[in-house]
């Protein structure tokens, strides 16, 4: 069978690459459409997938000045998306998290086409020729619906937050639920965790048959080992050898973060004589850029290693302690058996790492972070509670199921089932997949 994945940014690749890999391992055909100016040539996961004969990578828009190394380039419009799906006999289209297709595409073919063309013209007019990576995603969603191919939304991240409202726009939910009816127009909208699925049902008018918990493909145990093997190596800067190696992950600033407290913590870290400090921004710089720290006069970058360009997997492997709040990268830290420090006071949210005692060092002040780092440097290392670790994996990776299971096998079975049902029946059978 033939599957198509639309990718826009690094986290999309991070969470969808394991699914593509599983399909390839099982002998399926996989097409990846990369848009948004993302540098596909520089991504080690895509480079790994390219070693498979049945993997086909196409970039819509390359990075400025980048030589495009693809079999051919697509024009960015609905007609090209329709032709691509038909030419390659694609049976299932998967996009990353976000809005669903517009209404009216389930009508008879001719009427659905007219509506889709009108919507395309309006979107192009609004865009006025400016680059917009979301248009490509929209085109392939509409094309899939017109051609009656199965359309699935896959996670582009793992939400470890347990709050109803995670952003500073706290007034939204006071006026009623998110009107995300478009998400219900997917054949299946996949969530990593049962908590996140329930959030969609409670706060975003989610359809219980469409919203389904399949677990985390990104931290499936098999892919975890493959990912560590293929990730490019990283060696800690030589001037930090012999010191306690500490990485601070920049939080997403809009996720109710106390920016002043972040700066205070970084100032304290940079002054530690026994530690070598590295700072990594979020893979989506628009969410968690290190720029606010670079511009702050109290942050001395002569004392800090900027490792924003280093992938998190080898970076964590090279470090001793990771300081992070509110991010699923903490799962990677624990699976690599490194120490996670959770400075809860940096934001006003609750996460799995707060809700499950014993998986990490919980600090409520900068002084507590510094105290632990000093203790670790003296050989007093925090040890994770095995039962707490299993509970974390159960909820964050295995969809709140009682026992561990092969997550990638579940993705493979359900995607191939949906692909076989392409032609209009996938939605009616989706209730079978509501829970694993």
DSSP 379-412: T------HHHHHHHHHHHTSTT-SS---HHHHHH
47 burial level (CB within 10 Å; 0-12, 13-18, 19+): middle
Instruction: Please give the Cα distance from 280 to 220 (Å, whole number).
Output: 24
- The CA dihedral of 425, 428, 429, 434, to the nearest 10 degrees, is 140
The residues near 412 (Cβ < 8 Å, ≥ 6 apart) are 19, 22, 23, 26
Identify whether residues 279 and 328 lie together within a single domain. yes
Q: What is the pTM of this model?
A: 0.90
Query: Is the confidence at residue 171, as pLDDT, over 70?
Result: no
Q: Is 79 a member of any domain?
A: yes
Identify whether residues 289 and 360 lie together within a single domain. yes
Identify whether residues 192 and 250 lie together within a single domain. no
Q: Is 363 a member of any domain?
A: yes
Is 243 strand, coil or helix?
coil
Query: Is the confidence at residue 63, as pLDDT, over 80?
Result: no
Q: Is 226 a member of any domain?
A: no
CATH at 355: 3.40.50.2000
Decide: 293 and 250 in contact? Cβ < 8 Å. Answer: yes
Identify whether residues 179 and 255 lie together within a single domain. no
Q: Is 399 a member of any domain?
A: no
Identify whether residues 388 and 411 lie together within a single domain. no
Structural domain count of the chain? 2
pLDDT tens sequence across 379-404: 999 999 999 999 999 999 999 998 99
Q: Is 60 a member of any domain?
A: yes
What local confidence, expressed as pLDDT, does residue 427 receive? 45
Identify whether residues 293 and 374 lie together within a single domain. yes
Q: What element of type H or E holds 115?
A: helix 109-127
What local confidence, expressed as pLDDT, does residue 433 receive? 40
Nearest to 247 by CA among 220, 265, 228, 224: 265
pLDDT tens sequence across 291-330: 888 888 888 999 999 999 999 999 999 999 999 998 999 9
Identify whether residues 22 and 151 lie together within a single domain. yes
Identify whether residues 347 and 425 lie together within a single domain. no
Residues β-bridged to residue 214: none
For 20, the domain range is 2-220+406-433
What proportion of the chain, given as a percentage, has pLDDT over 70? 85
- Secondary structure of 250-275 as H, E, C letters: CCCCCCCECHHHHHHHHHHHHCCCCE
pLDDT tens sequence across 229-251: 999 999 999 887 889 999 999 99
What local confidence, expressed as pLDDT, does residue 240 receive? 77
Decide: 154 and 15 in contact? Cβ < 8 Å. Answer: yes
What local confidence, expressed as pLDDT, does residue 423 receive? 64
Q: Is 281 a member of any domain?
A: yes
Identify whether residues 134 and 41 lie together within a single domain. yes
pLDDT tens sequence across 392-435: 999 999 999 989 999 999 999 999 999 998 864 444 444 334 44
Identify whether residues 121 and 248 lie together within a single domain. no
Q: Is 169 a member of any domain?
A: yes
Identify whether residues 331 and 424 lie together within a single domain. no
Instruction: Please give the Cα distance from 192 to 349 (Å, whole number).
Output: 19
212 burial level (CB within 10 Å; 0-12, 13-18, 19+): buried
Identify whether residues 147 and 282 lie together within a single domain. no
Confidence of residue 61 (pLDDT cuts 50, 70, 90): low
Q: Is 258 a member of any domain?
A: yes
pLDDT tens sequence across 265-294: 999 999 999 999 999 988 776 776 878 888
- β-pair type (321-323, 244-249): parallel
| Mean pLDDT, range 321-344, rounded to an integer | 97
Q: From the CA atom positions of the chain, what is the Rg in Å?
A: 22
Pull the structure tokens for residue 399: 């969809």
pLDDT tens sequence across 204-216: 999 999 999 999 9
């Amino acid at each position: 069978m033939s599957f198509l994945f639309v990718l826009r940014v690094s986290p999309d690749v991070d969470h969808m690459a394991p699914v593509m890999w599983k399909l390839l391992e099982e002998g399926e055909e996989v097409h990846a459409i990369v848009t948004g100016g993302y540098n596909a040539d520089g991504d080690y996961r895509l480079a790994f997938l390219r070693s498979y004969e049945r993997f086909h990578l196409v970039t819509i828009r390359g990075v400025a000045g980048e030589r495009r190394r693809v079999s051919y380039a697509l024009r960015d419009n609905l007609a090209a998306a329709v032709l691509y799906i038909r030419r390659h006999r694609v049976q299932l289209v998967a996009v990353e998290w976000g809005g669903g297709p517009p209404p009216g595409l389930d009508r008879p073919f001719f009427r659905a086409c007219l509506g889709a063309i009108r919507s395309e013209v309006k979107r192009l007019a609004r865009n006025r020729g400016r680059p917009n990576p979301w248009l490509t995603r929209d085109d392939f969603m509409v094309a899939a619906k017109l051609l009656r191919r199965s359309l699935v939304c896959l996670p582009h991240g793992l939400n470890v937050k347990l709050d109803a409202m995670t952003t500073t726009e706290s007034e939204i939910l006071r006026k009623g639920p998110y009107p995300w009816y478009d998400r219900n127009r997917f054949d299946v909208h996949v969530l990593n965790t049962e908590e996140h699925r329930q959030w969609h049902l409670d706060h975003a008018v989610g359809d219980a048959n469409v919203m389904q918990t399949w677990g985390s493909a990104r931290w499936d145990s098999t892919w975890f080992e493959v990912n560590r093997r293929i990730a490019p190596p990283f060696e800690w800067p030589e001037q930090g050898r012999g010191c306690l190696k500490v990485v601070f992950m920049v939080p997403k600033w809009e996720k109710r973060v106390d920016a002043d407290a972040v700066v205070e913590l970084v100032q304290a870290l940079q002054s530690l004589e026994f530690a070598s400090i590295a700072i990594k921004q979020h893979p989506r710089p628009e969410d968690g850029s290190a720029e606010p720290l670079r511009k702050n006069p109290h942050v001395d970058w002569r004392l800090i290693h900027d490792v924003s360009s280093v992938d998190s997997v080898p970076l964590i492997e090279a470090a001793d302690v990771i300081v992070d709040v509110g991010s699923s990268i903490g799962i990677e830290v624990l699976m690599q058996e490194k120490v996670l420090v959770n400075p809860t006071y940096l934001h006003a949210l609750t996460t799995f790492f707060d809700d499950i005692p014993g998986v990490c060092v919980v600090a409520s002040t900068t002084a507590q972070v510094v105290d632990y780092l000093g203790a670790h440097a003296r050989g007093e290392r925090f040890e994770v509670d095995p039962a707490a670790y299993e509970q974390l994996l159960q909820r964050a990776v295995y969809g709140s199921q009682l026992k561990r299971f092969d997550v990638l096998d579940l993705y493979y079975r359900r995607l191939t089932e949906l692909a076989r049902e392409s032609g209009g029946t996938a939605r009616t059978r989706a209730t079978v997949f509501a829970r694993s």
